[in-house]
Amino acid sequence: MNPVARRVRVMIVEDSAVVRHLLAHIVSRDGRLELAAAVASAEEALAEIGRVRPDVISMDIRLPGLDGLEATRRIMAEHPTPIVVIADAVEEQGLRISMNALRAGALTVVEKPLGPGREGWEGAAEAICTQLFIMSQVPVIRQRGPVGRAPVPRAGGAAPPGRPAMVGIAASTGGPPALARVLGALPADFPAPVLLVQHMGAPFMEGFAAWLDGLVAPRVLLARDGVRPEPGHVYVAPGNRHLGIVAGGIMQVSDSPPVGGQRPAADVLFGSMARVLGPRGMGILLTGMGEDGARGLAALHTAGGTTLAEDETTAIVYGMPAAAVRLGGVTAALPLDAIGPRLLRAAGGTLEATDGR
């Protein structure tokens, strides 16, 4: 008989006594987890983390004193620990802080739970526990400097013949800061549209697109069904909707069934690009847990498209890129900071900075 696995130790950081007790109840009843501490402020969390030594932290964002963003920065600098942000998905300032906490080293963001008896309560509680358990397994290191908008060159007009007509990018765990780095290498006039799939809770997607739009030069917005994507724009799959393309390069946003448990699914995006674009498509698979995107990327590779995957040396979670490499569907595996410049070169841009004239 196998020995019982050690439970994952969870520290809850939440200023609301009601929500703190609710999260403690959720954690305590899950057989995979153990409540190690529940504190009301970032200052208390920082004081206790060395003694408690949690495996994962549930982090509120709107805290008295130090907010969740600054707490995340401090924890990742002093006591690197996997952090799951628990946020109110409909509050704009909280969304912005949540996205910046992901840049500072938090791994994912989930919606703050409603009380027992509310519609969807059991599913929300299970989702929180599953995220805490999964993220506890992710190795984290002291956070590097913040991701910012890097100076970028102009792309120099339309892509030359043979260059990608469209770019698809997909990510899951660790995706937002990785996407900010890749897209931060592109100019506002990048000569191909970019379609993007990020695994994240549906209520967060509009805020995620707005956050990314404020960080990178290309325009970032939610994708709309039946619209032809334009160069210099990044189109984000809406929450709980697949994103792909159909004949003529028109975007298709649909609520067809999940693929591999995911909606949106990277396999849907890359598979549609393989069918419609073939060698004129370019697919990029970044950090993420699971295998979504591997089969679609392999199909695009077989169809003659260029396919890149994030290298194991930089991926927060190597699951999705590793699966693509195993299937032989990757043209090149690159460290994160090399992907944006490679994408720019593929589209016919230049890596030399301009002097603004």
| Catalytic sites, residue numbers | 172, 199, 292
CB-based contact 178:310 (threshold 8 Å): yes
Residues 6+ apart with CB under 8 A from 26: 113, 125, 128, 129
> Residue 264 CB: number of other CB atoms within 10 A?
30
Residue 279 and residue 302 in contact, taking contact as beta carbons nearer than 8 Å:
no
Residue 155 CA, distance from chain mean position: 26
CA atoms within 13 A on the CB side of 59: 38
Quickly tell me which residue has 């599953």 as its tokens.
130
Number of H helices, E strands in the chain: 11, 14
3-class DSSP assignment, residue 6:
coil
Query: What is the rounded CA–CA span in Å between residue 354 and residue 357?
Result: 7
Q: Cβ distance 75 to 47 under 8 Å?
A: no
Q: Token match 């994507």: residue?
A: 229
Q: What is the three-class DSSP state of 261?
A: coil
**What CA–CA distance (Å, rounded) separates 8 from 15?**
22
Question: Whole-angstrom Cα distance, residue 224 to residue 227?
Answer: 6
Cα–Cα distance for residue pair 219/232, rounded to 1 Å: 6
* CA gap 330, 302 in Å, rounded: 10
Q: Of 210, 198, 179, which Cα lies nearest the Cα of 94? A: 210
User: Beta strands 281-285 and 233-236: pairing type?
Assistant: unpaired
